[in-house]
Amino acid sequence: MLRGRARRWLTTTFPGGGRTLASLTVIAILLIMTGGITVNLINQLLIARHLEQELVAAGERVRALQATTQALEARVEYERSDAAVEAWARDLGLAREGDVVIVPELVPTLEPAASPVVAPAPTPLPPLPPNWQRWWRAFFP
């Protein structure tokens, strides 16, 4: 089975030539422990890689939010400035003191004279009943 150096190591380390049940049990336990440590190490490496990816994604979100914050701060600063107030007032149709306001007028176009249209006379409304009758109808329909 084993030859050379491995056999000598087994015979010197484990009395009985390495063939006893106790020595085989110790070797099996060592192999299981080594396998467990290896699996745990690989699992820790996978977790570390996943956490690094999350850290990079969070850093990108932070940079995007900082850019948004800076843009909003610049917008707030502009809205508080006199230029924004003036632009808002101009949009409402207001003029500064000393400005000359020019309002264009529509020039009527000459149309051929048409026969005047006579509007029908409105029909008169019936007279309102006295106030006491309106109250009576409101409470006793």
Q: Which residues contact 49 (CB under 8 A, 6 or more apart)?
A: none
Ranges of H-type helices in the chain: 5-13, 21-79, 82-91, 131-139
Count Cβ atoms within 10 A of the Cβ of residue 81 and give its class: 0-12 exposed, 13-18 middle, 19 or more buried: exposed
Neighbours of 18 (CB within 10 A): 20
What CA dihedral angle connects 56, 62, 63 and 65, to 10 degrees? Answer: 150
pLDDT of residue 48: 96
Neighbours of 23 (CB within 10 A): 16
Q: In this structure, what DSSP letter does residue 20 have?
A: S
Q: Which residues contact 20 (CB under 8 A, 6 or more apart)?
A: 14
pLDDT of residue 103: 74
pLDDT of residue 112: 65
Radius of gyration of the chain (CA): 49
pLDDT in tens, 40-99: 999 999 999 999 999 999 999 999 999 999 999 999 999 999 999 888 888 888 888 888
pLDDT of residue 138: 87
Top pLDDT among 98 and 23 is at 98
pTM for the model stands at 0.43
